[in-house]
Amino acid sequence: MGHPTLPVGGGEIHVAQDGPAGAPVLVLIHGFTASGRSWDALVPLLAESHRVIRVDLLGHGRSAKPGGAGYTIAEQGRRVGEALDRLGVRRAIAVGHSTGGSVATALTEQRPDLVTALALINTGPSIGAHIAQGPGGGSSTPRSG
């Protein structure tokens, strides 16, 4: 299906597509310091039944690496959504590995109209996900007196 470079806010990102054009869409998002090529071994199997879209996040792989560009998780998620819009994708399953899982989560939060399901692989919680211990939550210690 091709390997275009798409202009998105902040620079150009590389996108690889495989599988039938009309099939359900899986967008695969790599982790920090990786690229969409990290999914190469899985793509032939996944592309039998899905349109598989791999995005090299800005600053990674074959995407642009502009100085001073915003590289926050939220900005990367927004760019993935913008790329999917440019490709005409209306519904997608987002799959993220490691930090890519955080980007996939950001995409899901920003675009609930676009993401139908979310799969996280080896993605840890962010510090913002911490729930303080208190009444009704977490473990409690017995009080004396």
β-partners of residue 102 are none
Residue 39 has pLDDT above 60, yes or no: yes
Query: Residues with Cβ < 8 Å from 29, sequence gap 6 or more?
Result: 55, 57, 80, 94, 95, 96, 97, 100, 101, 103, 104, 107
Residue 74: pLDDT band with limits 50, 70, 90: very high
pLDDT digits 0-9 by tens, 85-144:
999 999 999 999 999 999 999 999 999 999 999 999 999 877 665 555 656 554 444 444
**CATH number belonging to domain 5-125:** 3.40.50.1820
Positive or negative torsion for Cα 119, 48, 88, 116: negative
